[in-house]
Amino acid sequence: MADDALSEAWEKAANDITKGKNEGALQTLRAADPQAIEPMTARLVGEATWNIAKINESKSDYRKAAMFLREASKKNPKDKKTSSLYNKILNEMQDKRISETVIPRMFNNGGPTLAGIVVIFGVFLVVLAILAGANNPGSSNQSNVVMEITWTDANNVDHTGKIWIEFYDDETPMHAESFRANAEADRYDGTIFHRIVDGFMIQGGDFENGDGSGAHAGKFFGWCDQGMGNFAQTDDCRTDMTKWVIPAEFGQTHEPGTIAAARSSNENSAGGQFYLVDSNGAYSLDGSYTAFGKAYRGEIDGVSTSGIEVIDAISQVECKGANDDTCRDPPQQNSGDPDVGSQVTAKSVHPVTVVSVELIDAEDPWYKFW
CATH at residue 48: 1.25.40.10
User: Mean pLDDT across the chain, nearest whole number?
Assistant: 86
**pLDDT score recorded for residue 216:** 97
Q: For strands 158-167 and 291-300, give the pairing.
A: antiparallel
Alpha carbon distance 206, 194 (integer Å): 8
Q: Domain ends where: 76, 95, 114?
A: 95
In a domain, 256, yes or no: yes
Asked if the model's pLDDT at residue 112 lies above 60, the reply is yes
Q: Are residues 71 and 215 in the same domain?
A: no
Q: Residue 259, CB half-sphere, CA atoms under 13 Å: how many?
A: 27
Judge whether 225 lies within some domain: yes
Residues 252, 341: one domain? Answer: yes
Residue 312 belongs to some domain of the structure? yes
- Number of domains making up the chain: 2
| pLDDT, tens digit (0-9, with 9 covering 90-100), for 155-213 | 999 999 999 999 999 999 999 999 999 999 999 999 999 999 999 999 999 999 999 99
pLDDT tens by residue, 49-82:
999 888 877 888 899 999 999 999 999 999 999 9
Say yes or no: 151 and 75 in one domain. no
Backbone angles phi, psi at 164, to 5 degrees: -95, 130
**Residue 54 domain-assigned (yes or no):** yes
Of 25-29, 47-51, 283-287, 322-326, which gets the smallest average pLDDT?
322-326
Domain boundary among 95, 128, 152: 95
Cα 355 from Cα 307, distance rounded (Å): 16
Q: What is the pLDDT of residue 279?
A: 94
- CATH number of the domain bearing residue 191: 2.40.100.10
State which residues form the domain around 47: 4-95
Domain boundary among 95, 115, 136: 95
Expressed in angstroms, the distance from the first to the final Cα of the chain is: 27
| Same domain flag for 84 and 155 | no
Could you give the count of Cα atoms lying within 13 Å of 104 in the half-sphere of its Cβ?
Answer: 10
For residue 124, being part of any structural domain is answered with: no
Regarding whether 309 and 172 lie in a shared domain, the answer is yes
Is residue 132 one of the residues assigned to a domain? no
| In-domain check, residue 109 | no
Residue 116 falls within a domain, yes or no?
no
Going by pLDDT thresholds of 50, 70 and 90, the confidence category of residue 291 is very high
